[in-house]
Amino acid sequence: MRTQVAIIGAGPSGLLLGQLLHKAGIDNVILERQTGDYVLGRIRAGVLEQVTTDLMDEVGVNERMHKEGLVHGGFDMLFNGQRHRIDLQGLTGGKSVMVYGQTELTRDLMEARAKSGRTTVYEAANVQVHDFDTQRPRVTYEKDGQTHTLECDFIAGCDGFHGVCRASAPRSAIREFEKVYPFGWLGLLSDTPPVHHELIYVRSERGFALCSQRSHTRSRYYLQVPLTDKVEAWSDDAFWNELRLRLDPEAAEKLVTGPSLEKSIAPLRSFVTEPLRFGRMFLAGDAGHIVPPTGAKGLNLAATDVKYLSNALIEYYQERSEAGIDGYSERCLARIWRAERFSWWFTGIMHNFPEDGPIVAKLQQAELDYLINSEAGQRTIAENYVGLPLDFGG
């Protein structure tokens, strides 16, 4: 089998890239080692920047998103027992974010992919990339007991942090930067109405908390917990009780509890790979970078990666120019590091770091006090939260 672009990974970044290329008439095949149901079963973030919703509009996969997505013009920051609203629209000239679950976005892209007639191979085992440093890269995989070879012009590694693409890059040509945080987020999903119509980011003496949502009737909550905690040790009642203790009295009173649909603990890390191009293989999304979930940058960064990559590949096929693919890594990394900085900074001021002593807590409080009482400080939060423009910085 032959195609122009082999896409490894059928998560949202791989599927979105496939749609962008399909719209431009560029043939592509997606290989995914898991089943489609498994991909849809992964619980992920749900805050979309304008650039991401614009990309969904561009590929025409937007009807349900605009019908069911919740547009948020701001969010609350809770510290020292008081809530302060960050007016995203007022501070950024009308920009906002949309709450729409990554699972739903992935489902929409899957359905569009099926209608497009392009090939997606699920349960592709033992995927291997070959000869990506030559003009004739190829991918091998096993399916139904047989080994298959996919010849291609380019390989797009959208296969996540543990995928084969980054692991296949030559160690001498790659640098990896990582920071692992000493805590995780215990998340709970429930069919209960959200405690507030917008998100609430909480810094309390007991630890960080986040009140998020997926719809008017489905909520997602998070608690900062030690990495040593086990999800099995947290009953639903224990979760709700701890969340109440971290909220302000009004929110604690309004909180509606119920049985969990899912509970899990996610570790927090910052991770970046340099470069993102190895010959004719490109990394995008989690294959090349991970951000802490504070600020909801992961999915949105993946979306801009594939926008840059699709533009570069379209330029190559339509204009026979390699300028876009030559500049892909540098362009992506500039945006990635800006988002990494914001997520690192936001994580740093909102979480407890007991090992750093009481002086850090005092400095965090002073930082938050400054931000809330400074229009420039609030604007800095707002413009980063809604997402910097694709051409920011040139």
Residues recognised as catalytic: 72, 201, 293, 297, 385
The answer to whether residues 151 and 136 touch, using CB atoms and an 8 Å cutoff, is yes
DSSP H stretches of helix in 128-259: 164-168, 236-246, 249-254
User: Angle 240-242-246 (CA atoms, 0-180°, nearest 5)?
Assistant: 115
Core vs surface per residue 172-206: b (16+ CB within 10 A) or e: eeeeeeeeebebbbbbbbbebbbbbebbbbbbbee
Please state, as a whole number, how many other Cβ atoms lie within 10 Å of the Cβ of residue 227: 12
The answer to whether residues 34 and 123 touch, using CB atoms and an 8 Å cutoff, is yes
- In terms of Cα–Cα distance, which of 147, 144, 158, 131 is closest to 31? 158
First to last CA, the chain: 39
- In terms of Cα–Cα distance, which of 105, 146, 174, 141 is closest to 7? 141
Please state, as a whole number, how many other Cβ atoms lie within 10 Å of the Cβ of residue 217: 11
- In terms of Cα–Cα distance, which of 391, 380, 365 is closest to 307? 391
Question: Taking each helix axis from N to C terminus, what angle separates 50-58 and 12-23, rounded to the nearest 10 degrees?
Answer: 40
